[in-house]
Amino acid sequence: MKLFIKKVKPILLHPTTLILTLLFLKVIAFRVVVFHNKSVFHIALIEFPLWAFLLSLIVLFVKKRTWTGIFVFNTILSVLFIAIIYYTRYFSTIPSYYDLQQLYQSNSVGGTVGLLSKPYDFLFFLDLLFILPIAYYYNAKKIKSSAKVTRQLAILFGSIGLITTLLAFRQPLIDVSYFAKENGYLQSQAVQVFTRSFGIALASDVNLSEQDVEKLKGNDYVPANEHNSYGIAKDRHVFVIQVESLQGFVINRKVNGQEITPYLNALLKDSTYFDNVYQQIGAGNTSDAEWLMHTSIYPEGMDPTVNVINGKPVPSLPRTLQRNGYGTATYHADDITYWNREKLYPALGFDYVYTNKEIPAEQEIGFGPADEVLFDFAAKQLPIQFKKHEKIYSNIITLTSHTPFEMPEDLQYLVLPDSYDNTYVGNYLQSVRYTDEQIGVFIDTLKEVGLYDNSLILVYGDHSGVHGAPVTKDDEAILLDLLDHPYNLQDRFIVPVIFSGGGLFSGETISHLGGQIDLMPTLLNLLGIEHDAQMIGHDLFHYENNLLGMRYHLPGSSFINDDTLYVAPSAKLPAILYNLETMKEKSRTNKTQQSIDNALKIMQQSDQILKSYSNRK
Confidence (pLDDT) at 150: 84
Confidence (pLDDT) at 487: 97
pTM, 2 dp: 0.83
> By three-state DSSP, how is residue 509 classified?
strand
Q: Under a CB-based contact definition with an 8 Å cutoff, are residues 272 and 584 in contact?
A: no
Cα dist from 302 to 58, 62, 111, 188, 453, whole Å: 31, 35, 22, 12, 42
CA gyration radius for the chain?
A: 27
Q: pLDDT tens digits for 41-54?
A: 999 999 999 999 99
Confidence (pLDDT) at 196: 65
Which residues fall within 8 angstroms of residue 389, CB to CB, at 6 or more apart? 325, 326, 327
Instruction: Report the alpha-carbon distance of residue 265 to residue 271 in Å, rounded.
Output: 10
Q: b/e for 249-285, b at 16 or more Cβ within 10 A? A: bbbbeebeeebbbebbbebbebbbbbbbbbbbbbbbb
* DSSP bridge pairs for 190: none
Q: pLDDT tens digits for 126-142?
A: 988 888 888 777 776 66
Domain 235-542, CATH among 3.40.50.150, 3.90.550.10, 3.40.720.10, 3.20.20.70:
3.40.720.10
Instruction: Report the alpha-carbon distance of residue 153 to residue 414 in Å, rounded.
Output: 63
* DSSP bridge pairs for 274: 497, 510
Q: Under a CB-based contact definition with an 8 Å cutoff, are residues 392 and 326 in contact?
A: yes
Q: What is the DSSP letter of 313?
A: P
**Domain spans in the chain, listed from the N-terminal domain onward:** 2-198, 235-542
Confidence (pLDDT) at 112: 58
Length in residues, the chain: 617
> Which residue type sits at 535?
M
Torsion angle, alpha carbons of 577, 562, 278, 493, to 10 = -30
β-strand 559-561 against 564-567: which pairing, if any?
Answer: antiparallel
CA count, 13 A, side-chain hemisphere, 474:
12
Confidence (pLDDT) at 304: 86
Query: How many of the other CB atoms lie within 10 Å of CB of 129?
Result: 8
Confidence (pLDDT) at 507: 97
- Which H or E element spans position 82? helix 66-91
Helices 147-168 and 15-35: angle between axes, nearest 10 degrees: 30
Instruction: Report the alpha-carbon distance of residue 117 to residue 410 in Å, rounded.
Output: 29
Instruction: Report the alpha-carbon distance of residue 308 to residue 582 in Å, rounded.
Output: 38
Cα dist from 116 to 11, 88, 469, 478, whole Å: 40, 10, 6, 19
Instruction: Report the alpha-carbon distance of residue 600 to residue 591 in Å, rounded.
Output: 14
Q: Under a CB-based contact definition with an 8 Å cutoff, are residues 219 and 545 in contact?
A: yes
Q: Under a CB-based contact definition with an 8 Å cutoff, are residues 470 and 108 in contact?
A: no
Confidence (pLDDT) at 149: 80
Which residues fall within 8 angstroms of residue 533, CB to CB, at 6 or more apart? 315, 609
Which residues fall within 8 angstroms of residue 139, CB to CB, at 6 or more apart? 67
3-state helix, strand, coil in the chain (%, to 5): 50, 10, 35
Report the 3 state secondary structure along 203-233.
CCCCCCCHHHHHHHHCCCCCCHHHCCCCCCC
Cα dist from 346 to 82, 228, 294, 314, 349, whole Å: 36, 34, 12, 9, 5
Burial class (CB in 10 A: 0-12, 13-18, 19+), 587: exposed
> By three-state DSSP, how is residue 397 classified?
strand
Instruction: Report the alpha-carbon distance of residue 477 to residue 483 in Å, rounded.
Output: 10
Instruction: Report the alpha-carbon distance of residue 279 to residue 553 in Å, rounded.
Output: 9
Instruction: Report the alpha-carbon distance of residue 263 to residue 246 in Å, rounded.
Output: 14
Residue (of 301, 236, 104) closest to 526 by Cα position? 236
> By three-state DSSP, how is residue 499 classified?
strand
Residue ranges of the chain whose pLDDT lies below 50:
1-9, 106, 108-109, 200-203
